[in-house]
Chains A and B, each alone.
Chain A
Amino acid sequence: MAATSQTARVLPGFRLSLSVTLVYMMVIVLVPLCAVFVKAATLNPAEYWAAISSPRVVATYKLSFGASLLAAAINVVFGLMLAWSLVRYSFPGRKLVDALIDLPFALPTAVAGIALTALYARNGWLGQYLEGYGIKIAFTPAGVLIALIFIGVPFVVRAVQPVLEDFDVEAEEAAASLGAGRAATFFRVVLPALAPALLTGFALAFARAVGEYGSVIFIAGNIPMVSEITPLIIITKLEQYDYAGATAVASVMLVVSFILLLLINGLQEWTRRSEQKVS
């Protein structure tokens, strides 16, 4: 510590800026998050286990994690195609599409939720046609999936797009000159180079989807054991004044969040390194 400080701390404001940063982080983020674990620890192990493993709660894990995994996977496929279209093809309206990719970041989740319900409800814009084929989306797990796909779109596109933009054309030229077709070049040269970015986008979309609340609850119908997500059961328990139970479930989600955060950090590091290797 002493060794680095001598050379680096020439500029003023180190103490002030670091104190402001740490105090703010402590007050807004760290101390409140610790409250979750302290509160959860007031339960004895048997009570804690009962709170986080009751059948209704387990059903929400299955739905939240299952639908989030599936939504992130779907976004990897379509997100890659969208990023490819935006980087490689010129078509009318390209800039508009590019700007609107971030809509799920900018549109409040509650607005997205009621809009998706208006589309997929039984008498909705799309729902009335799907009804004819016996497909129900709103108020079923499929509705949860649709909402999670919506909020996940930008993560994969924005993770892949810059890597694809910086991708060295010479690699593809080399492959072509060695006689590889476009398909072979894509799957054996381009796709492996995109893998870290695709995985990062997948992890980001998944992490967001697991905790998502606003866009899901309107379209999900929130039927216990069927279409109830984990964030909702925390709220349900809170409304029943079961603070300890709500906190126990929250602690499980927080641990998952921490693990995902570390995983994403590792993936982003990997993306950076493989990008440097390419260029």
Chain B
Amino acid sequence: MAITTGVRERARSRQTIFEENIATRDGRLTRGVVLAVSLSFFVVFLLLPLFAVFVEAFRKGWQTYIAALMDPDAQSAIRLTLFTAAWAVTLNVIFGLAAAWAISKFNFWGKRVLITLIDLPFSVSPVIAGLIYILLFGAQGWFGPLLESADIKIVFAAPGIVLATLFVTIPFVARELIPLMELQGTEEEEAALTLGANGWQIFRRVTLPNIKWALLYGVILCNARAMGEFGAVSVVSGHIRGQTNTMPLHVEILYNEYQFAAAFAVASLLAFLAIVTLALKSYIEWRAQPPHSSGEDT
């Protein structure tokens, strides 16, 4: 507990240090104007939309709210969203660990290119992320006829939704782990190796404890994006109610049918998820600060 108060104090005092130093202290007018402008911007652009979701969700009362969430189509959308996120998180953890292990523990040709490629899905439009799977697995796609003869549905079905979600969430776990594991180097693992540990033991006993917070951080961000993805999923879903609708798609359908209170009710679940995500993220950032750094850098 001594550590935690130390970190808190440091965080609080940091701003005070700037405000007490004449060289870094802004005039009262400057401070007032900058704070007023930036906080107004924050309130209008971030806080107000979040607030609006909950107010609109309860506009027609509790009964409407509960009814919207208990609706069979909403329930099926929630199930599909959980199913999709479970796949996305599991596969991206495996991929993220493999990529980070290969990149941080070994040298090989094309390493930098690989790191850049892992980030690629961040700069590709989600709509294109959906489109590419239509081109591959759609009725007119490369594998379309093959899939049709085998009676396998990928596009306009759950597998397509999972694939599109995988594409947009690929970077999340890997990009948290790669820089951290590169920084940690290979010394500890090599020491374990000389002491006779096998690969799996090294990973579980040495590497994993060192990266657990970064891994959890990546999982949380990956999960949030997987549950909330709209554009990519919208292209491959086919919008079949009760079958291929995820929560965000269900929100869209309700909204377009002018069932605003119901749309915002389902949206409020997603907004709540976002708040939980941010809270966990802040908690991990606070926990993952190595305790000794609180004394060292000031």
The residues of A with any CB-CB pair to B shorter than 8 Å are 1, 4-5, 8-14, 16-18, 20-21, 24-25, 28-33, 35-36, 39, 78, 81-82, 84-85, 87-91, 94-95, 97-112, 114-116, 118-119, 125-126, 149-150, 153, 165, 169, 172-173, 175-177, 182, 185, 207-208, 210-214, 218, 230-232, 234-235, 238, 243, 246-247, 250, 253-254, 257-258, 260-262, 264-265
Q: Which chain A residue lies CB-closest to B46?
A: A103
When the two chains form their complex, are residues A81 and B38 in contact, meaning their CB atoms are under 8 A apart? yes
Q: Which chain B residue lies CB-closest to A103?
A: B46
When the two chains form their complex, are residues B231 and A231 in contact, meaning their CB atoms are under 8 A apart? yes
Chain A neighbourhood of B138, CB < 8 A: 243
Residue of A24, A97, A260 near B123 (CB, 8 A) is A260
Chain A neighbourhood of B203, CB < 8 A: 13
Binding stretch for chain A, among B66-74, B91-99, B287-295: B91-99
Determine the main DSSP class of A at the interface with B.
Answer: helix
When the two chains form their complex, are residues B35 and A36 in contact, meaning their CB atoms are under 8 A apart? no
Nearest Cβ distance between residue B190 and chain A, in whole angstroms?
6
Bound together, the chains give a CA A95 to CA B141 distance in angstroms of: 50
Name 24 A/B residue pairs within 8 A (Cβ), A-sorted.
A18-B106, A24-B98, A25-B170, A32-B133, A35-B136, A36-B128, A39-B135, A81-B38, A84-B38, A85-B35, A88-B15, A95-B282, A105-B221, A107-B50, A108-B274, A126-B48, A150-B49, A169-B24, A211-B126, A211-B128, A213-B234, A231-B125, A250-B125, A250-B131
Chain A neighbourhood of B123, CB < 8 A: 207-208, 211, 257-258, 260-261, 264
**Among all A-B residue pairs, the 5 with the closest Cβ atoms:** A108-B228, A211-B125, A213-B231, A214-B230, A32-B132
When the two chains form their complex, are residues A17 and B98 in contact, meaning their CB atoms are under 8 A apart? yes
Q: Which chain B residue lies CB-closest to A216?
A: B231
Task: Write out, one digit per residue, whether chain B residues 226-263 have a CB within 8 A of any chain A CB (1) or not (0).
Answer: 01111100110000000000011101100100001001
Nearest Cβ distance between residue A133 and chain B, in whole angstroms?
16
Residue of A35, A109, A153 near B231 (CB, 8 A) is A109
Given A32-B167, A100-B46, A104-B46, is A111 in contact with B270 using a C-beta cutoff of 8 Å? yes
Q: Which chain B residue lies CB-closest to A21?
A: B99
Bound together, the chains give a CA A119 to CA B51 distance in angstroms of: 10
Residue of A10, A81, A213 near B230 (CB, 8 A) is A213
Residue of B39, B46, B116, B278 near A153 (CB, 8 A) is B46
When the two chains form their complex, are residues B15 and A87 in contact, meaning their CB atoms are under 8 A apart? yes
When the two chains form their complex, are residues B193 and A99 in contact, meaning their CB atoms are under 8 A apart? no
Bound together, the chains give a CA A10 to CA B202 distance in angstroms of: 13
When the two chains form their complex, are residues B125 and A106 in contact, meaning their CB atoms are under 8 A apart? no
When the two chains form their complex, are residues B136 and A32 in contact, meaning their CB atoms are under 8 A apart? yes
